[in-house]
Amino acid sequence: MTKKSKENLDKKATRAKKADLNLDEKNLNFTTSQKQNLKTQKSQKTAKSKKTSKENLKANSRSNFTNQNKPKAQKQNSNETNSQSLNSNETNSQSLNSNELNSQGQNVVSAPLLSSLNSTQKLNLLDFTADELAKIISPMFRVKQIFEWIYQKYADDFSQMSSLSKEMRAELSQKFHFSPLQCVKFEQSKDKSIKYLFRLNDGLLIESVLLPMKEEVLDENGKRVKSPRYTICVSSQVGCKSGCSFCLTAKGGLKRNLSAGEIVGQILWIKKQQQIPYAHRVNVVYMGMGEPLDNLTNVSRAVRILSDNNALSISPRRQTISTSGLAKQIKELGEMNLGVLLAISLHAVDDELRDRLMPINKAYNIAAVMEAVRGFPINQRKKIMFEYLLIAGVNDGKRHAEELVRLLSGIRAKVNLILFNPHEGSTYRRPSVEDAVKFQDILSAKGITCTVRQSKGLDISAACGQLKERTQK
């Protein structure tokens, strides 16, 4: 190749390189501009998408809330339209129309609640755990907000739930309520225990009791050293069919069972009225009007609702279910493995006397009751409580104490001696404190934990059914 030809090739290469550089520059400018435009478009699209998503969230939330209460045909049409909702109505429908089981094999939403979803009457929110309510109202964080207002902030009605939209508050008030009872009367004792008389929404009356167990302790600077301790005694039925001869409630017979929400409502109302903070736990005893195990379905639901961390968060270990001795239901309760404590109202050590005091003994005698108790699951740190009502000249003698020791052999037991609380029309008498202590000493000498319950409310109709009876006269 000549020198001239080489120079020509170099010139062509130089021109080509310049052309490529110019093209790259153009492309670079184009790309930068394009990127800026794309960035602007993306930003606008994202903002629009967020706005749309927010609107869809509100719409779908209202749709999920509303559609659960529509007729079936309307629900299906609505589900087709709103197939992209956060909690699809198809999924909710499947959950609500099947006996969905949790990890313990228990129904998440019970049949009575399912049947009430299409009811024209307002549903009681206190009948639901948060997980159950989330199958009717979505998304879940709204349910948690509702529960916070009810159980932690003690709201009186939906209008106070300011974190919810006005539309949602209005719709909630049309479909639900959380006021299953109202207090019509209460009496406070010198010992600060309080007896409440509640009227249910159907006009029937029940009783509850607040028992202050330990007073608040403050140091010299007014700082709390020890918090007060409370026990709330709740009713599980309107009336009772057990027919115990010493009980005033039994005289009126059984009217009906309480719903889980009516049981929960007693505790919530008392905590609110006494301004007991949400974080301050209370002990609950199912020992008021009624036989709790005759209403096992709703009592067990109340236990789960109360223990729900989104609700009052009262541990099952702080809840005690008392029974007159329904052996079959004691076994059923044990199989549920709720973690609750068990109290047995024994009151006699032989079947002849117990038949007279407690007619239920004819169906489940002492041997059957003790067999059921021995099979009941209990935390190794806990004991089975035996309630023993001391009645002067009836069951408070030395032989009764010695026979009780024999019955409790091999059982992790704690005996709570109760001095009979007299009421009008009763032929039974209250024993002396001295006789109660003698009875206690016999049990304690045999290694059985035994206490004499401090009688509270003797001046305020504290015995079961007394306030209701006096009010109705």
Residues tagged active-site = 207, 464
Nearest by Cα to 386 from 418, 351, 414: 414
Strand partners, 230: 212
DSSP classification of residue 365: -
Nearest by Cα to 459 from 192, 152, 207: 192
The token pair that represents 292 in the structure block: 């709790």
**Is the backbone peptide bond immediately before 228 cis, with ω within 30 degrees of 0?**
no
CA–CA separation, 58 and 377 (whole Å): 46
CA–CA separation, 206 and 182 (whole Å): 10
The gap from C-alpha 384 to its chain's centroid, in whole angstroms, comes to 22
Q: Are 348 and 230 in contact (CB under 8 A)?
A: no
Helices (H) and strands (E) in the chain, counts: 15, 16
Q: Residue 123: in which H helix or E strand, if any?
A: strand 123-124
Strand segments, DSSP code E, in 260-381 are 283-286, 319-323, 341-345
Q: Are 147 and 172 in contact (CB under 8 A)?
A: no
Strand partners, 355: none
Nearest by Cα to 271 from 306, 232, 300, 301: 232
Integer angstrom CA distances of residue 161 from 57, 153, 175, 309: 19, 10, 15, 19
The token pair that represents 362 in the structure block: 């004819």
DSSP classification of residue 455: P
Q: Cα–Cα–Cα angle for 127, 132, 137, nearest 5°?
A: 100
Please state, as a whole number, how many other Cβ atoms lie within 10 Å of the Cβ of residue 373.
24
